Structure 1
Amino acid sequence: MGLLDALKDKVLVADGAMGTLLYSYGLEYCHEEMNIERPEIIEKIHSQYIQAGADVIQTNTYGANRIKLARYGLEFKTAEINQSAIEIAKRAAEGHKVFILGSIGGIRGIRKVDHTLDEILEAAREQAEVLIGGNLDGLLLETYYDFEELTATLAMLRTMTDMPIIAQVSMQEPGVLMNGMKLNDALKQLESLGADVVGVNCRLGPYHTIQAFEEVEIPERAFLSAYPNASLLDIEDGRVVYESEVDYFARAAVELCKEGVRLIGGCCGTTPKHIEAMKKKLAHFRPVEKKAAKPHREIVIREAEPRSFEPLHEKAKRERSVIVELDTPKHLEIEKFIEGAKALYEAGADLIMMADNSLASPRISNLAMGAILKLKYGIRTMPHITCRDRNLIGLQSHLMGLNALGLHDVLAVTGDPTKVGDFPGATSVYDVSSMELISLIKQLNEGISFSGKSLGKKANFSVAAAFNPNVRVLDRAVSRLEKKIEHGADYFITQPVYTKEKIVEVYEATKHLETPIYIGIMPLTSFKNAEFLHHEVPGIKLSDEVLERMKQVSGNKEEETRVGLEIAKELLDTATEYFNGIYLITPFMRYELTIELLQYIQQLDEQNKGVKANG
């Protein structure tokens, strides 16, 4: 029975990441070269996935094309590396009912200028000739960010072979490719070009992959595939890491299969343990043949009074101060954002904070939206400034522009690496660290430019810094916080906290400092939202109690919202007792939730005033 016949009747489980395991062995050079230098390690990894229950494995040839191998001076070994990969996979699969796919990876990232399409196709042709000659069960085209490259490669391969071809795109955000094409339309086009299985892999974790497939129709002829990452990636000590519990990944696999996916494996961060857990969950799952795809969500979008300028770090030292975050739009319609900012400001927020392309995904410039809100509506704003997107020239220019516009509140952060976001091939600048940026901003406050020249006038920035208390060893985080104070940080804003105990722990660990801290509170909107935050977002962890409370009302939108707000209010009870500074994060533009929390804070403060007056 061939691969396509098997997919007619059952869901097949594929293997997981190769690179993740090679990294764990300390092998960080060219992974494909290991086919000829350390074949026993590659065979061992294949065997581990087979023993974990994988029905499908792929050759270790993702980057085994002339263009990528040239980075290591190995282009002349292209055929040898691919041939060895075939032999290794077959040895591992011997005696097992396992299908073997020849992996061909995409070459283009965000930039198209490095190599012409003809050069890319020639490299793919050279590699494919070896893989096709190896009598495998199919070809796997994976991690293609450029749709033109994928369609051209697919069309070429279809003229070379009748063997099954799996064609997978990598999305920039759920349901949309880098060129703006809807995922459903892209998969239909791949099917029309002759792909037997169409799907997605890499970049997104389980949560967003499921979200994307909710909008995908079941193809007329082809089957659907999905190889999500274990989670969103994080950078730890300069290394890429993923956080994901295997049971969560397995449960997500069930949800993907409910959306019609029949071939499901894992990409970056997944291991044999993820595949084993998934295999058990899907053991008796029957393929879904019909479903109603959700329509693609087209985002729609609305505007208050100046207050006298006072640095927030001064206000928070003596009384309540509340910062509210509202992300700028990812599209060009700004009405709802303005409407939300106005409503939040009128409800009592001291200012509206705007991230600087968080998760490395482009949004409308926070400088532009900050200027509009201030100059047109009198709303005080705080833009984030990352070290990721601008070199020293750009950073100073940007800050000078903010000062000229009267936007004096800023948050200096490192910025999520570009690998996290919509353009994984884009360059992360990082000329300076967040601590160095704080120092440089304070240098502008002295009227001195980054190069030491006189600016002719002092800037007037109040500089906030980020503080993540959701760590195992809080003392280390506090030590880093103290270093930021040394560099000039005026106050701190924390990641969202989800336990009362953590709030008290932060207070006890920082009460020796005079620098104000704004405790982050973000209401949960659903159980899926809670699981996503807990399992996939670096720096955020929820307690078992919170997860269980959200799970109890899972599927009931009104109850999920009610419980999410209830949890947030309980946290505010504690946070307002220990800290003057509160930082409210607005989820998914649902600013009505944040307004309710603002009103709750005001009620608490009124009650406390009454108690003091009567006491």
Structure 2
Amino acid sequence: MQIREYLKEHTLLFDGAFGTYYTKQFRPEKEESFFPEYVNVSRPDRVKAIHRKYLSAGAHAIKTNTFGAYPGILMKDAGETKKLITAGFSLAEEALLNHLSKDVKNRPETTGEFARRAGQERSAEASGEEDYFIFADLGPAPGEEEKERILAYQMAIDSFLETGARYFLFETLPEEKTVLEAIRYLKDQCPGAYTISSFAVMPDGFSSEGCNYRDMLAAAAGESAVDAVGLNCMSSVWHMDHLIRQIPDPGKPLLLMPNAGYPVVRGYRTVFEGNADYFARILARDAGQGVAMVGGCCGTTPDHIRLLADRLRENPVRHQGGQGPVFKEPDPALGQDHGKRSDQHLYAATGSDGNSSDKGSRDSGLSDRGLSVSKDQDAFYQKLMSGRKVVAVELDSPRGCDITRFMEAAENLKEAGADIITIADNPIAKARMDSSIVAGIIRRQVGLDALPHMTCRDRNLNATKSLLLGNYAQGIRNVLVITGDPIPSARRDEVKVVYQFNSRKLMAYMKALGQEEGTFPSPMHIFGALNVNARNFEIELDRAREKVQAGAVGFLTQPALTTEAIANICRASETLRAENSRIRLLGGIIPVISERNGRFMQSEISGIDVPDALIERYVGKDRADCEEIAVDSSLELAKTMEDAVDGYYLVTPFMRDYLIRRIMERLPGR
């Protein structure tokens, strides 16, 4: 029986976790624990034993032990990785043959190449028997660039097709674009292959790349090469059940493989201690309401699958082949939160736009949540969009705990007419007071809009979301998103640096958060950096376009001190505005305050070009003369960019806010 026919009659039960169960059973060496794909060659008996345990527990679909079988991840070349894939598929076949041999008379049909090699003949008597399926299992492909990840997928796919694999599970995916390209490649090579695209999201519905699960599932379900979609890993069964009840029917079979609860640390080991019976009860209920495929991810064991298999046998479900989910009465043992009336649907009701039909009712309760939104909290953006020239002034966050001088400067700049204060996020990776905390202090004590810089360095998704929620609560409505400088290190891993995503991915995550019902009652505006001093400005423009697609509403440019930089500002203004009339551009200006300061920036500060002719103007001058030159040269630059920008972004040197106030008094267009 083919899998499509099988799913019309049955819920397909997958196995549980391999890696965490292997670690629990055998306490392996560190290398095997991190890369269990190695044991396909070094410990084949253990691999087969785990497959057999899941089959004996009742699984009818098993995954090959090849989640990370890509060159690079395993520190192996393509040839060695191919051996691991070939061995992994063969071990799954051998385990299944061994399981079926216990009842030779009733052995069902298996996958194509496997059936041929096993010499099986399908009999009329066996035509009603349930089938078993071996899925080629592939996790996210490695690589910084999309083309690298696609190539890794293609190499793994080719290796699997040579083994005879025809069922493919692409799992634990953080985004959809790359895997959909890989699946299209697979279907070109093997049109009859069956493919599942399964995404991993946290309980709030966002992946490690900041992608919303609704968007990923919709994109995958809309791809003709994808046969089924699903969710696996990162979330428990309770949260995964909750997530699928917030989406419209994907129109394709749905797979659910939750974790066994959430991990805890015991000594030096990470373990899962979720209740297996609770896991089985909820998943069986979901199967009864139309989920076509169920199984387990991290922390699940044969016990979880055995309990789930028992419950599925107690309540067999005939899936109606695209005619909608089947609904069953709730299990009282699941508790009030899980009790669903029989007339409730598994999927959310949708309007014509595909959004949840209760969106309006959710948005209407803002006052009940204690959130107040006033126009003055977004005065900067309103002025920016009105067409009036704005002035953003950057102040360096305090080095220590004393904020007295910083706050004096902020007060002075507000009186001089600054529209917003920007605060850098540990520039050149040198620790200062947190930019978001400082922004909140400015908002409360000075009553002026603040724009904290937010880097991608050293924050994961949870930390980023927490910070954004805190910023919103403090009245912060604008954020400048940048990748951030790496931390210098004399030795490898002396200071660990985390970059979970780049600025474009962080912007896309923030945009998706803003679209999630109830996260931000009013918009959080995302600004990006534009390096007008880049050697290849065409690449920088392409990145700017990607940032606009990711959610950027405007750009603050790097300080422009050369004619080339001014020309690039004009070009960016013309290009980006032609493509999106709502994009706004603030031209960057930093006063050079001395010959020494100019030569330092010229030699050591990345992204700033200081022309020799400007530096020569400072030679032999005292401080007062140098400051006059700094004001005059800054105003000259502002005049050259006036028609191309929507405002100015002034960077304060060494907390000399009085210089900035002098420049602000004479800025053109103000």
TM-score, scaled relative to structure 2: 0.45
TM-score, scaled relative to structure 1: 0.49
**Larger CA Rg, structure 1 vs 2:** 2
